Chain A
Amino acid sequence: MEDYKYLFKVVLIGNAGVGKTCLVRRFTQGLFPPGQGATIGVDFMIKTVQIGDDKVKLQIWDTAGQERFRSITQSYYRSADALVVVYDVTSFESFRCLPDWIKEIEQYASNKAITVLVGNKTDLIEDREVSLDNGTNFASTHEMRFLETSAKEADNVDKLFLDIAEELTKRVQVHEVEDSKDEIAICSQNHTVSATYNCCRW
């Protein structure tokens, strides 16, 4: 068995070209890829991080933004522990499309999943079309966490993923404590802990 305590699935969504692939590659490989093509279908990356005393494995699914891949990408929503909706702060269009992505989440994702809004490309100061306030407001209306990032400058990228890992870990641990209380209460043997959160435990 691999050496990790929890496994979480993180799915990135948002219009094509907002920088999802760059965010994932920055986080998992520590680089800003030069001129790679648009993502086809979904890509899959893994990074294990340390949260407190535990090793936590993040399985990151990077999706293609184009419509024709929608039925592929949608199939990953349900098992996602966290959904990251990315827009490009230099593209108002990408911000304008956010409600469509929110609708997708409402329709397909588990209601237990964490949702995070990310405004990427903050390094392009001159070209900014979406203000910090725009992002903050949208996120609070939809009860999402919010962060502005730059995959290019590695700004807030680690924070984005580490915060997610930390929050998910905390939630499972609280849940485990409750479960063990339940177990004592029920006191039935062979009681299998029902995994309400999508995670594996070792």
Chain B
Amino acid sequence: MGVYLCFDNPWRPNLQLVHTDAKQLDSMISFTCNLAENVSSKVRQLDLAKSRVQEAIRRVNDVLDLKFCTDGVQTALQNEDYEQAAAHVHRYLTLDENVLKQVTPDSKEDSGLDASLQLLHEAEQQLKAIVNVKFDDAVKTRDLASVERFFKIFPLLGLHDEGLKKFSMYLCTQIANTSRQNLEIALGTESNERRANVIYADTITLLFEGIARVVEIHQPLIETYYGPGRMLSMMRSLQKECDIQVKKIIDSFIKNREFDKKAQQVQQNMMSSYKTNVNQADRLDPRELDVMLAEVTLANARTELYIRFFRRRVLADLEVIDLNATEKQEKLSQLDKVLVNCELSRGMQELIGHYIMMEEYFMRETVMKAIKLDAMESGAYTSSMVDDTFFIVKKSVRRAISSSSIDCVCAMLNHACILLESDFCDVLYNKFRTGFPSGSLDMTQAYNLLQQGKLPTASTADSNAVKAAFLTTVNNAEVSGEYVITLKKSLQDQCTSLYGYTSEQGKAKLESCLSDLGNVSNKFKDVLQYGLNQLNASAIKPRIKPMVDAFLSANHNITEEEFSNYEANDPFVQHFIMSLEQLLHTFKSSLTTSNYDALVSLLTNEVVSQLEKAVMKSVFNRLGGLQFDKELRALVGYLTSVTQWTIRDKFARLTQMATILNLERVTEILDYWGPNSGPLTWRLTPAEVRQVLALRIDFRSEDIKRLKL
């Protein structure tokens, strides 16, 4: 306003006036300011006063409540309305006694308040005692409604831990009673009843299911009245009872199934098998273990299921409450401790430990029996022991898998490896070591004799039987190598059913043991190679040499006339092929395709190496070279026709020799040599080329010498 005046008359400034105005304005502002300050401080005081009034009202209310509680708790207790009484006590427990006492420090009311507090305090103690007794009574009389009624009152009195402990104990007695009844029923089961074979595993299962049901029903109740985060302590209490009951069931199982007795016998039998073959009668028949072993794995699978349930429940409950990292870690390690150290886990570990030993015995003994009872069947390449052995191994490992215990599966996979790669391979090796008798072979006769289980009378029949057995063993080795890979795959597939709840560590263990099993196929390859080499050495090599000798007696230094005469009267190769055919024929029907091909391959090697030597000992003229070329083509053609493998490459050197022996002139070799070789890779050294050239009776040695190769 004043400033405005100042500009009102710009051309006649009146500074004096402006100054006065400004002063006035200043005093006005500070007045207003003081006023405002004053008002706001009053308001603040008012605020404070208001909140004090409110506090006071609340305290008054508290005091009134206290009086109400004091009166109410008496009435409620008299009426046995314990919920109401507890509600009063609960209200009283939320009040701060000391603050209350300050409200009326000097007044006469003081003594009244004290008396009220005293009364309430007594009522609280009284109620606590009553609730304890009533709860116990309800448990004794199995008054479920009252149990639940008083269970809900504990937390109102601040007795969370005690209430939960008592309630858990109540649940435990329930679990115990049911379990006892179940065990009695189990023990009374007739052996011909449907599930008699797994009755103890079933009884353990019932126990777990009972506990699960208890948790299922009561967890919501506990959460509602006690708040979340109480599952670990509840489950820990329940587990104590579970341990007691499980022990009873396991003890009955051990006693009635003669588990320990059998385990001991197995242990003794296993030890003795390392030394001498003791009296067979003393050995436990593996069939006696079969059913019992299945029951152990079932019990363990159920236990693992239950433990996973336990863990899941506690973890889910811990998720709900607010915990810092260390608190959470602490809870988790407590959980682990309960699960690792509980009697249930230990008991099952003991059982599984013995199970593995007995399962190994079952597998080993049954396989040994299958080997002992090995029989050849006409029409089958392998003998019975191969199918039987792999069937048994598969059965045992699958059973181990059904236990859901990774360590148990791994142990049985290890035992399967040891059995197959040591014991079973040794059996095959030993059969090979007896060797393959030389002389011709009549397979039909051999099979007949073996099938009838007769001791062959004639020595040829005898050796035929040995030969048939040998060839079967070759097949056994080959097929075993394939079976072991199939077995690994099938077990691996089955193991994936465990992966859902297996740690990375567990999976790595399984994978490692499975891959070891797969590697056993390499051991079978070694055995097979050994057998084939034996066969080659005794049945092929000695037969090929005399056959090839015929080549030496066939003249390859021939006239036109002789050459065309050979068309009609072949001097060597037709007969040679026939002999090979005959030789192979005896094996063709007795070996698997793959083994037969392997044998043809070995035979081809032998033919090639013998024939090379024979060629180097012969002499040729041009027509003789042509004749040899024809012979070679026939031979390669024949051998190609009998096998699925390519054998042409094996003939590379001989084919190149034929090429050389077919040359018109010595120098013609240069059309095929060095830069002119084109796609041809020479397998003959320059020295060998000269050697072959020298076989041509019509080539001059000076020409050969002069060649630059």
**Residue ranges of A at the interface with B (Cβ–Cβ < 8 Å):** 37, 40-44, 46, 59, 67-72, 75-76, 78-79, 107, 188-192, 194-195, 200
B349-A79 in contact (CB<8A): no
B153 within 8 A of A: no
Q: Which of A75, A76, A192 has the most chain B CB atoms closer than 10 A to its own CB?
A: A75
Which of chain B's residues have a CB closer than 8 A to the CB of A68? Answer: 346, 349-350, 353
Known interface pairs A189-B605, A190-B529, A200-B519; A70-B414 also in contact (CB < 8 Å): no
B350-A71 in contact (CB<8A): no
B597 to chain A, nearest CB (A): 12
Flag B382-423 by CB within 8 Å of A: 1 or 0 each: 000000000000000000000000111011101101100010
A75-B356 in contact (CB<8A): yes
Flag B278-320 by CB within 8 Å of A: 1 or 0 each: 0000000000000000000000000000000000000000000
B509-A71 in contact (CB<8A): no
Q: Which of A71, A76, A78, A189 has the most chain B CB atoms closer than 10 A to its own CB?
A: A71
A41-B519 in contact (CB<8A): no
The residue from B336, B508, B512, B526 contacting A192, defined by CB atoms under 8 A apart: B526
A192-B407 in contact (CB<8A): no
A69-B353 in contact (CB<8A): yes
Which of chain A's residues have a CB closer than 8 A to the CB of B525? Answer: 192
Which of chain B's residues have a CB closer than 8 A to the CB of A195? Answer: 522
A162 to chain B, nearest CB (A): 22
A42-B410 in contact (CB<8A): yes
A99 to B605 CA separation, bound complex (whole angstroms)? 55
B343 within 8 A of A: no
A41-B336 in contact (CB<8A): no
Name A40's closest neighbour in chain B (CB-CB): B340
A40 to B412 CA separation, bound complex (whole angstroms)? 17
A79-B516 in contact (CB<8A): yes
A37 to B418 CA separation, bound complex (whole angstroms)? 31
Flag B499-541 by CB within 8 Å of A: 1 or 0 each: 0000001001100100010010010011001000100000000
Q: Which of B350, B406, B414, B508 has the most chain A CB atoms closer than 10 A to its own CB?
A: B414
Name A189's closest neighbour in chain B (CB-CB): B605
B354 within 8 A of A: yes
The residue from A41, A75, A190 contacting B414, defined by CB atoms under 8 A apart: A75
A42-B526 in contact (CB<8A): no
Which of chain B's residues have a CB closer than 8 A to the CB of A67? Answer: 353
13 contacting pairs across A/B (C-beta < 8 A): A41-B406, A43-B505, A59-B512, A68-B346, A68-B350, A69-B349, A71-B357, A72-B352, A72-B408, A75-B412, A75-B415, A76-B414, A192-B525
A72-B512 in contact (CB<8A): no
Name B414's closest neighbour in chain A (CB-CB): A75
Which of chain A's residues have a CB closer than 8 A to the CB of B349? Answer: 40, 68-69
Flag B346-366 by CB within 8 Å of A: 1 or 0 each: 100110111011001000000
The residue from B274, B336, B340, B407 contacting A42, defined by CB atoms under 8 A apart: B407
A60 to chain B, nearest CB (A): 11
Task: Identify which of residues 422-449 in chain B touch chain A, using a CB-to-CB cut-off of 8 Å.
Answer: 422
Which of chain B's residues have a CB closer than 8 A to the CB of A43? Answer: 505
B264 to chain A, nearest CB (A): 14
Known interface pairs A69-B349, A194-B526, A195-B522; A44-B411 also in contact (CB < 8 Å): no
B509 to chain A, nearest CB (A): 5
B617 within 8 A of A: no
A95 to chain B, nearest CB (A): 25
B337 within 8 A of A: yes
B52 to chain A, nearest CB (A): 55
Task: Identify which of residues 460-512 in chain B touch chain A, using a CB-to-CB cut-off of 8 Å.
Answer: 505, 508-509, 512
Q: Which of B340, B350, B353, B529 has the most chain A CB atoms closer than 10 A to its own CB?
A: B353
Which of chain A's residues have a CB closer than 8 A to the CB of B337? Answer: 37
B509-A37 in contact (CB<8A): no
A71-B522 in contact (CB<8A): no
A104 to chain B, nearest CB (A): 13
A70 to B357 CA separation, bound complex (whole angstroms)? 10
Known interface pairs A37-B336, A44-B512, A107-B274; A72-B605 also in contact (CB < 8 Å): no
A44-B505 in contact (CB<8A): yes
A199 to chain B, nearest CB (A): 10
Which of chain A's residues have a CB closer than 8 A to the CB of B412? Answer: 75
A194 to B340 CA separation, bound complex (whole angstroms)? 43
A41 to B415 CA separation, bound complex (whole angstroms)? 16
B418-A78 in contact (CB<8A): yes
A18 to B370 CA separation, bound complex (whole angstroms)? 44
Name B415's closest neighbour in chain A (CB-CB): A75
A72-B274 in contact (CB<8A): no
Which of chain B's residues have a CB closer than 8 A to the CB of A189? Answer: 605
A113 to chain B, nearest CB (A): 14
A165 to B529 CA separation, bound complex (whole angstroms)? 31
Task: Identify which of residues 248-299 in chain B touch chain A, using a CB-to-CB cut-off of 8 Å.
Answer: 274
A189 to B418 CA separation, bound complex (whole angstroms)? 29
Which of chain B's residues have a CB closer than 8 A to the CB of A79? Answer: 414, 417-418, 516
Which of chain A's residues have a CB closer than 8 A to the CB of B522? Answer: 192, 195
